[in-house]
């Protein structure tokens, strides 16, 4: 581990469990444990997987009128959020690009909890400080974050904290787990039902160890986290979108609240709105799509995509083998005219052509708990 890599509070537990540590977003993180990526992936789809996501940035924005101020940076209806309700949002630049994607939860009338990506956390905080004049931005540096995911997660966490049984997807509550104060939201990054648990860094090892005592639970690394989110059709910031990509190009139109669109009650008003709303009206030159692979050869990020004439018409941004599907899948940006589901193209893998077809996402059904 380099001197520059940071450790999460669960570093020693990862090592104890046989975690293979790799550098990720400035942290030493477990890519897998002894069981391996495929087994960890399947376990999460069948029971409960616990992920250390303490590298993510956690912060609180508060102050009079915080909701309306946040709407200048996020193209969602922040003011419409109920207490303890959360929403996915992209943070746009003045050029309409995506600076980060995040989850925002309303904690109070003028108090909002944000979870941002690790690699962009410092830039996000600087961006917020620059634009959110009059608001307080507090970084929760002493908080860790666990994701508890899988079809048995609701049952497990419900036994430990009965109040969580009433939570539906994208809602949160303050509860006690093993005697520790936690903020728990019914959300995640696997396509499964599950929870994210914000808990004091000093208490997270206790909580993780207690969870692992249950026979339904297994610790899961970054490798399976990636294959799970890929099957669920969920974007990875830095791969499937970045500051050079707009929400429209990234096929994230659903993340732009209807009230913030051209004919909405709060049309525009966010950074890059002219660009984004113009693209909604006029279309874009390229778009993110899902694709399935004909055959067993995985198509990885960076591979060029060509049409029948051999013209390069796209590039793969995420790809690999989906253990639940038993097939290789991926995501890519393709030029206008090639985005229709069922379009047959080819990916270039080590100088050879691999047939692919544009497919709908998610590749596996999402099983979020909506009540």
| 330 in the same domain as 245 | no
Q: pLDDT tens for residues 57-82? A: 999 999 999 999 999 999 999 999 99
Rounded to 10°, the helix 222-231/37-46 angle is: 60
pLDDT beyond 80 at 1: no
Of the residues 262, 281, 300, which one is the last residue of a structural domain? 281
Q: For residues 200, 87, 29 and 40, what is the CA-based torsion angle, rounded to 10 degrees?
A: 110
Q: What is the pLDDT, as a whole number, of residue 296?
A: 87
Q: Please classify residue 162 by burial: count the beta carbons closer than 10 Å to its beta carbon, then call 0-12 exposed, 13-18 middle and 19+ buried.
A: exposed
Last residue of a domain, one of 281, 305, 324: 281
Give the pLDDT score at 288. Answer: 98
Average pLDDT over residues 263-277: 98
Q: Are 78 and 198 in contact (CB under 8 A)?
A: no
Residue carrying structure tokens 């030159």? 285
Q: Find the CATH number of the domain harbouring 329.
A: 2.40.30.110
Residue 3's pLDDT is what?
A: 59
Question: Is residue 43 within 8 Å of residue 55, measured between CB atoms?
Answer: no
| Domain limits for position 308 | 285-359
> Does the pLDDT of residue 331 top 70, yes or no?
yes
| 140 within some domain | yes
Whether 17 is covered by a domain: the verdict is: yes
**178 pLDDT band (50/70/90 cuts)?**
very high
Residue, of 4 and 307, whose pLDDT is higher: 307
- Name the band, by pLDDT with cuts 50, 70 and 90, for residue 4: confident
Backbone angles phi, psi at 45, to 5 degrees: -70, -20
The total number of structural domains in the chain stands at 2
Residue 48's contacts (CB-CB under 8 Å, 6 or more residues apart) are 148, 149, 150, 152, 153, 156, 214, 216, 217, 218
Q: Is residue 1 domain-resident?
A: yes
Domain check: are 294 and 202 in the same one? no
Same-domain status, 30 and 61: yes
Q: Check if the beta carbon of residue 301 is closer than 8 Å to that of residue 319.
A: yes
Average pLDDT, integer, range 187-201: 98
Question: What pLDDT is recorded for position 120?
Answer: 97
pLDDT, one tens digit per residue, over 13-43 is 999 999 999 999 999 999 999 999 999 999 9
Examine the domain organization and report whether 324 and 267 are in the same domain.
Answer: no
Q: Are residues 238 and 323 in the same domain?
A: no
Residue 105 near residue 43 (C-beta atoms within 8 A): no
The answer to whether the Cα torsion of 222, 236, 368, 84 is positive or negative is positive
Region 182-208: mean pLDDT is 98
- How much is the pLDDT for 293? 98
- Average pLDDT of every residue of the chain: 97
Domain limit, last residue, from 230, 256, 281: 281
The residue among 244, 285, 242, 282 whose CA lies nearest residue 262 is 282
Handedness of CA 219, 224, 225, 229 (dihedral sign): negative
Q: Is the pLDDT of residue 2 over 90?
A: no
Same domain, 272 and 300: no
Vertex 89 angle, CA 24 and 365, to 5°: 80
> Residue 103 belongs to a domain with what CATH number?
3.30.1360.120
């Amino acid at each position: 581990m380099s001197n520059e890599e940071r450790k999460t509070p669960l570093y020693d537990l990862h090592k104890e469990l046989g975690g293979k540590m790799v550098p990720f977003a400035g942290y030493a993180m477990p890519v897998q444990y002894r069981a391996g990526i495929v087994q960890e992936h399947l376990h999460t789809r069948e029971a409960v997987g616990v992920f250390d996501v303490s590298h993510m940035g956690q912060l609180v924005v508060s102050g009079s009128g915080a909701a309306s101020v946040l709407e200048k940076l996020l193209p969602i209806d922040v003011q419409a959020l109920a207490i303890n309700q959360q929403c996915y949002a992209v943070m746009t630049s003045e050029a309409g690009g995506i600076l980060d994607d995040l989850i925002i939860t309303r904690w109070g009338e003028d108090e909002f909890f944000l979870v941002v990506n690790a690699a962009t956390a410092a830039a996000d905080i600087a961006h917020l400080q620059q634009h959110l004049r009059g608001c307080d931005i507090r970084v929760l540096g002493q908080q860790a974050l666990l994701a508890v995911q899988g079809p048995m997660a609701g049952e497990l966490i419900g036994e430990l904290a009965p109040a969580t049984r009433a939570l539906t997807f994208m809602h949160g509550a303050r509860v006690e787990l093993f005697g520790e104060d936690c903020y728990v939201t019914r959300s995640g990054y696997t396509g499964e039902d599950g929870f994210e648990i914000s808990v004091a860094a000093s208490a997270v090892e206790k909580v993780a160890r207690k969870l692992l005592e249950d026979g339904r639970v297994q610790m899961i690394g970054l490798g399976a986290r990636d294959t799970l989110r890929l099957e669920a059709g969920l974007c990875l910031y830095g791969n499937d979108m970045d500051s050079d990509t707009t929400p429209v190009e990234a096929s994230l139109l659903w993340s732009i609240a209807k009230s913030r669109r051209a004919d909405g009650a709060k049309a525009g008003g966010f950074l890059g709105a002219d660009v984004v709303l113009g693209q909604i009206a006029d279309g874009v030159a390229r778009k993110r799509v899902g694709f399935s692979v004909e055959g067993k050869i995985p198509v990885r990020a960076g591979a060029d995509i060509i049409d029948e004439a051999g013209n390069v018409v796209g590039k793969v941004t995420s790809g690999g083998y989906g253990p639940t599907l038993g097939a290789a899948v991926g995501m890519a940006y393709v030029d206008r005219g090639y985005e229709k589901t069922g379009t047959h193209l080819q990916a270039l893998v080590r100088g050879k052509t691999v047939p692919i077809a544009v497919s709908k996402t998610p590749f596996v059904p999402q099983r979020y708990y909506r009540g």
